[in-house]
Amino acid sequence: MTTPDEFRTTLQHLAEYCALIEQDLQDSAYPAAASSNAGARPIGPKGKPPCSIVDLDYIIEDVAPRIKGWCFNLQESAHVTGLPVNRPLNVWVAWLSRHRVTLLDQDWGEDAADELRTLTRELHDRLHPKPDTKRPDVGEFATAEEIAHATGRSVASVRKWCQRHDVEHWDIGGVRQYRTSQVRYTYASDQ
C-alpha cells in the first residue's frame, strides 16, 4: 500500500523528469550559435528535424497519455476540477500531487501509483543512462597503443581506422593522441 508521502516523492521526481525532458526537447529546437554555420539553413534535402523525433514521440505517444489518463480518471471518478489543460506535463503531475490522497482512495489508486512509479523509473533511466560497460575507460584522449590494448586490436589497424575516419588528434611531444569520443569501438572478441 502506497502512502501519500511516498507517492508525493514519486510525483516530485516525475514532475522533475518531465520538466527536464521537455526542456531538453525545447533546447534542441533552437538554432546553433551564430559564430558557426551549424545553425544555417540546410542546402538541399539534408534538413534535419529541429529535435529528436524519438524523444518527441516518446513524450507524445507514451508519457503524456499515461499521466493525463490518470488525471482524467481522477477528474471523472472523484469529480475533482481544475485540470491544467494546455500546460506542460510537470504541471499535470503537480495537479496529481495536490490530489494524491483522493487518487489513492480510489479503487484503482494503487494501480495508478504503480504505473506512475514505473514511468518515473523509465524517465530516470532515459535521462540518466547507465554507462556503456563495453566502452573502455581510456580517457578523453588516448594513443593508438592505448586504444589497441583496450579493444584487443592491433596498433596498425587502430591508426588506419582513425586516419580513414578523420578522427580528431593532436601530436604532443611526438606522441599522437586521438579523441576517444570519435572512435567507434569494436572488439576483436566480438568478431
Give me the pLDDT at residue 129, please: 77
- What is the rounded average pLDDT of the residues 169-188? 79
Return the pLDDT at 132: 57
Q: How confident is residue 190, by pLDDT bands cut at 50, 70 and 90?
A: very low
Is residue 185 over pLDDT 70?
Answer: no
pLDDT in the model for residue 96: 96
Counting DSSP H helices and E strands in the chain, the numbers are: 8, 3
- Taking the C-alpha atoms of residue 45 and residue 59, their distance in angstroms, rounded to an integer, is 27
pLDDT of 139 > 50? The answer is yes
* pLDDT above 60 for 7: yes
The 10s digit of each residue's pLDDT in 46-98 is 444 556 677 788 899 999 999 999 999 999 999 999 999 999 999 999 999 99
The whole model's pTM is what?
Answer: 0.62
Highest mean pLDDT out of 39-48, 129-138, 174-183: 174-183
Q: Which three cell numbers stand for residue 112?
A: 495508478
> Quick one: average pLDDT of 96-112?
96
CA–CA dist 100, 102 (Å, integer): 5
Amino acid at 97: S
Which is higher by pLDDT, 114 or 167?
A: 114
Over residues 8-45, the pLDDT tens digits come to: 999 999 999 999 888 877 776 655 555 555 555 555 55
Starting at the earlier edge strand, list the strands of the sheet with 141-142: 141-142, 175-179, 169-172
At residue 50, the pLDDT reads 59
pLDDT in tens, 151-170: 788 889 888 888 888 888 88
Residue 142: pLDDT above 60? yes
pLDDT of residue 115: 96
Run of H or E residues at 79? none
Q: At 120, list the grid cell.
A: 518515473
